[in-house]
Structure 1
Amino acid sequence: MTDLATRTAGRSVAPGLSGALRRAAPALLGYAAVRALGLLTLALWSAARDKSAYTLLTARWDSLWYTRVAEQGYGYEVRLPDGDVHSDLAFFPLLPWLERLGAAVTPLSYADAGFVVSLVASLAAAWGIFAVADHVYGRRAAGCAVLLWAVLPVGVVQSMAYSESLFTALAAWSLYAVLTGRWVTAGTLAALAGLTRPVGLAVAAAVWAAAITTWVRDRNGGEGGVPPGARRVLGTVLAPLGAAGYVLWVGHRTGKGPLGYLDVQAGWRNGFDGGVAFARFVAGRFTSFPGALAGVALTVGVALLVWLYLVGVRRGQPLPLLVYTGLVAVLALCASSYFGSKPRLLLPAFPLLFPPAVGLARLRTARSALVVCGVAAASAVYGAFWLNGSGPP
């Protein structure tokens, strides 16, 4: 493991639940304030355009697919004139299951339940991000990391009836469990993350990477006569079960074998090509003057992501975080379609925010607050503009 990981391994694990919540409370309050600003701005912007902000958050784009699965189960598909088949099997089941549960035990509709799940999950995700960053970098940097995640340009997705917030919450807490040696918890949460999005395999890979390096480094017995190796093995076995189980079920249901899920994704013209299609898309922006500005912005954005990842490597970020972040970024950037979705697909890659969070934490409180407030206002305006325009494809 890296030097930083070795240093953090000696820290005591988080205190009890109430103590951990008190420690994270300022960051969570700041996160809630940023998201409230974003939702208020969206409501005002939408009202001015005679649109419903709530509809944009709960009943557009992928939200409709999730609620349809929750209400009717799997089996719906749309055949397009060009021959493509959009099947609801592309959407992993945990969010629809929670929507169905919410609608069953409360008066909420499926869409309402999805919105509530996202709101709760976004707070859980913010807390999980705080826990991971606090464990590695300390409380002040952790608070800054949470606020930076809140003010991302597409941060409004965190409040939509989408699966990004739910997945990020499960991933963050699984990674925290890995860093603190809670292997069974880490594996269980990784399995749930794998039932949420295909990129859940990145969480499982982080658990496996940590388990292998820990096994090599440490073979000491555990407490109570149970060797830590047994818990480690159980965690690694559990970690990939969610994603693998759903993919295998889809293959069985479609009759196309273990990799049938790839055919489902192909029907959406979505696959993994190593980034070739995305590179062509970016290059195509340079064929006209307005598009060239977008091309420059995309190029700079990708370069920034690579630079932030390399900074994490140079500063000794723990291996599980590097594995997880690298796979999330690669899977997002190297998908062959839905180029406009890439910013929101990168939302779960929160460890990329840790280097700038550390830098922000070094500023005086007044200066860092001014920076966050300014970026939060810009993010709120952009989110309202985006959802009232093209929005998530």
Structure 2
Amino acid sequence: MAQLTAPARVGARLPIAARIALIYVAARVVTVVFLVIAASAGGVSDPASALSSLLLRWDAQWYWFVAEHGYPTELPLTDSGQVAENQWAFMPIYAYLSAVVGALFGSWGAGATVVSLVSGYLASLVLFRMLRLRVDESTATWAVVFFAAGPLAGLFHVGYAESLFLLWLFLALWQVLRRQYAWLYLLIPLMGYTRPGVLAFALFLGLHGIVRWVRRRVDPLSVREIVHIVATGALAVVVGFSWQFLAAVATGDPGAYLATELAWRRNWISDAGGGFVPFDGFVQAAGFWFTDWGFGPVVGYVALGLLVAGLVALLLFEPHVRRLGVDLRLWSASYLLYLLAVFFPQSSVFRLLAPLSPLWGAVAMPRSRVWRVGVLALCLVAQWWWIYNMYALGTTYWQIP
């Protein structure tokens, strides 16, 4: 990773796309080394086969199953009569796109890896373009370094939909920052049917519209823009709830999607089949995890409150975050509120923080070389920790990437 210690000087005369490609490829080489070490941790005789298996574990198997078999019209049930884990928890675009690309390479897994890698590069390029609207070139470049080599960089290689979702998300945020709202009519459905999260974007558009209305004297707001903001916000809401509707129509069960999502929660909370209640996941988890760690539920609830207060203070008052502008802070707040409302935190929570990646721009703002190289070193250490724990050791539901 020596090339990444001074990214502002790497290929300085090259086009931006080539410069980002150099950073991205260098970061991918390091991640491959980490993945190979993780795949070989058990003393396997065929590291290549072990690596392939590692890249296609967990959610990747479900996306493959969607591509091969589609979605069930009859929900599978557990021995106790509750809805079991099934394909309705996974959106179709990544699964089927990987199948199309995989047809060129001879397997779905190869297609999934290609889609993830290419999407990761394009997401890195869009992240740079988006951040350049708010920060200088050096800061935007270092933000891409941290993104490409960060703790979650293994996602650019595995058969998960995150890379593709981040591409659509960064494109959508970029267009909002540029006030090019018409692109959202395409990007919102692409986001919504790649992985869950588009309802957070609906909230973001609502808050964005309110802020623009309040600031209309200093940031002129045309009638055309009002129509686009309202219409795309409504589209995001419709797309966000449409998957529940489609699952209900296909299965004949109005609660099919939510029951499917709760099936995963029962791996930790056995009585999670009582129905979905917003924000209940984090509250349950605070009591569950802190009791499991020996502290008791009250400590967990206090820790959850402090966490929420800390995040609010970060987005409102931290000077580097403020310099990213109102819109990226509103997106971060919207997505965090969405996670608090719908998710039960466990080891996958690290992966679900990836849509907050525009905040790397704030991390990259201090221009000290010691700071930036130090952050990069911490990124690589955290990346290895995540890969080792989620893949080399991740053989149970307690370590799901």
The TM-score normalised by the length of structure 2 is 0.77
Aligned partner of 2:67: which letter? A
Q: Which residue in 2 is equivalent to 1:164?
A: 162
Q: CA deviation at 1:83?
A: 4.6
Higher relative contact order (CA 8 A, sep 6+): 1
Q: CA deviation at 1:103?
A: 3.2
Q: Distance in 1 between matches of 2:81 and 2:313?
A: 40
5+ residue gaps, structure 1, are: 1-20, 222-226, 289-293
Q: Which residue in 2 is equivalent to 1:22?
A: 15
Q: Distance in 1 between matches of 2:304 and 2:121?
A: 29
Out of 332, 337, 345, which is 1:330 matched to? 337
Q: Which residue in 1 is equivalent to 2:373?
A: 370
Aligned partner of 2:60: which letter? S
Q: CA deviation at 1:215?
A: 5.2
- Report 1:208-219 matches (<5 A): 208-214=206-212, 217=216, 218-219=220-221
Alignment CA distance shift 1:261-1:77 (3 Å): closer
1:142-162 CA distances to partner (integer Å, 9 max, x unpaired)?
Answer: 122222223433331232110
Aligned partner of 2:315: which letter? Y
Q: CA deviation at 1:136?
A: 1.4
Alignment CA distance shift 1:281-1:175 (3 Å): same
Assess if the C-alpha contact under 8 Å between 1:149 and 1:353 holds in 2: yes
1:340 aligns with 2:347: yes
Q: Which residue in 2 is equivalent to 1:98?
A: 97
Assess if the C-alpha contact under 8 Å between 1:118 and 1:166 holds in 2: yes
RMSD: 3.4
SS at structure 2 position matched to 1:279: helix
Q: CA deviation at 1:247?
A: 2.5
Q: CA deviation at 1:262?
A: 1.7
Q: Which residue in 1 is equivalent to 2:363?
A: 356
Aligned partner of 1:343: which letter? F
Q: What percent of counterpart residues are identical?
A: 27
Q: CA deviation at 1:94?
A: 1.4
Out of 247, 250, 262, which is 1:250 matched to? 247
5+ residue gaps, structure 2, are: 1-13, 266-271
Aligned partner of 1:341: which letter? S
Assess if the C-alpha contact under 8 Å between 2:150 and 2:380 holds in 1: no
Alignment CA distance shift 1:41-1:97 (3 Å): same
Assess if the C-alpha contact under 8 Å between 2:23 and 2:145 holds in 1: yes
- Report 1:1-393 matches (<5 A): 22-23=15-16, 25-49=18-42, 50=44, 52-58=50-56, 60-75=57-72, 79-81=77-79, 83-84=81-82, 85-104=84-103, 106-214=104-212, 217=216, 218-220=220-222, 227-229=224-226, 231-232=228-229, 234-257=231-254, 260-269=256-265, 271=276, 272-274=278-280, 275-287=282-294, 305=311, 308-311=314-317, 315=322, 317-335=324-342, 337=344, 339-359=346-366, 362-364=367-369, 367-368=370-371, 370-386=373-389, 387-390=391-394, 391-392=399-400
Aligned partner of 2:344: which letter? S
Aligned partner of 1:26: which letter? R
Q: Distance in 2 between matches of 1:234 and 1:80?
A: 41
Aligned partner of 2:259: which letter? D
Q: Distance in 2 between matches of 1:327 and 1:233?
A: 17
Q: Distance in 1 between matches of 2:331 and 2:221?
A: 24
Q: Distance in 2 between matches of 1:211 and 1:97?
A: 34
SS at structure 2 position matched to 1:348: helix
